[in-house]
Structure 1
Amino acid sequence: MSPLDALPPYAELLGITLTPRDGAAPTLLLPFRDAVLGRPGFLHGGAIAGLLEVAAIVSLQHALAGEGGGRIKPVNVTVDFMRGGRDKPTHAEGIVTRLGTRIANVEALAWQDDRARPIASARMNYLIVRE
C-alpha cells in the first residue's frame, strides 16, 4: 500500500498534500485557508492535531509497507501545542520510533517556517494487525 492510499478522508477535507522523499515517508503540507481557521489569523487546534495524526498514519503505513503491510488502530494520542499556528502553510512529518510485532510508537512534528521551531508535536501508539 502506498502512503497516498493510506490517507484518511479527513486529510482531503483539510487539503493535506504529500511531498515524497527518497526512501523515507513523505512530509505533509497543510495550506492555510478558511476551513482550518480558528481564531482570526490562526490555525484551529483540531486541524493541527489532525495534521499530526495523518502524518503519523502515513509514516507508519510507509514503515509497514516494507514489512508486508498491516492494519492499524490507534490506542492513544497525546498532542503538545507549543505556539500558535499562523496564517501560512504548515508542514508535518511522522517518525516511527518503534515498530513491534503488535504495537507501534510514532512521533509527529508540525512546523511552519523553521522545522527547529515546531508549533506542535504528538506521540501516538497504534495496535498493528499484520496481514
Structure 2
Amino acid sequence: MSAGLTPYAEALGMRIVEGGEDGATLLALDFGHELEGRPGAWHGGAIAGLLETAGYAALRSELVRQGRDPLLKPINITVQYLSTGRPRESFARGRIVRLGRRNANLEVEAWQDDPAKPIASAVMNILMVEEEASKVL
C-alpha cells in the first residue's frame, strides 16, 4: 500500500514484509498474547484482520499502479478457518481475481510455515466509488 498500513493494522503489529514479483504485498504479524484466542492459538478476529488488510493492500497496490484512487467499500468478506494458528509469525497475501471499474473480487490466504498450507483464507468483494460519484452518494 502506498500510504502504509491503517492504524488498526499498526495497532495489531502488522508489517509489510515485501512486494512480491507479481506486485502483491506480503504482510506479516507476530504472535502475541494480546492476539491469543484460546491458550496457544490465534484469535479468529486477528486472523481475519490480517486477511482483510492483506486483501486491501493487494487491491490498493494495483489501483495505485493504475493511477486510480477510489473509495473502497466492502460488499462482503467471507473467511474460512482451515487450521489452528499456532503461536508463531503468520503471513498473508491477497490476489485480485477480477478488477472492474466499480467492483473488485479478491482471494486472500494466511499461512505460517508454508504458503502451501494455509491456516485461513478469505474471499472479498469490494465496491470502488470514484471521487466524483462519492459526492452524489
Deviations 1:67-103 (A, max 9, x none): 2222211110000000000000000001011100000
Q: Which amino acid aligns with 1:77?
A: I
* Rounded Cα–Cα distance in structure 2 between residues aligned with 1:120 and 1:19: 19
* Rounded Cα–Cα distance in structure 2 between residues aligned with 1:81 and 1:118: 9
Identity of aligned residues (%): 47
Q: CA RMSD in A?
A: 1.3
2:135 corresponds to 1:96: no
Tell me which protein shows more helix as a share of its residues: 2
Q: How does 1:1-80 map to 2 (within 5 A)?
A: 3-5=1-3, 7-21=5-19, 22=21, 24-69=23-68, 70-80=70-80
Shift of 1:6: 5.0
Q: Which amino acid aligns with 1:126?
A: I
Unaligned runs of 5+ in 1: none
Confirm or deny: 8 A CA contact 1:6 1:57 kept in the other structure: no
- Alignment TM-score, normalising by the size of structure 2: 0.89
After TM superposition, the runs of 4+ consecutive aligned structure 1 residues lying more than 4 A away are none
- Alignment TM-score, normalising by the size of structure 1: 0.93
Q: Which has the larger radius of gyration?
A: 2
User: 1:119 is paired with a residue of what secondary structure?
Assistant: strand
Shift of 1:32: 0.3
User: 2:24 is paired with a residue of what secondary structure?
Assistant: strand
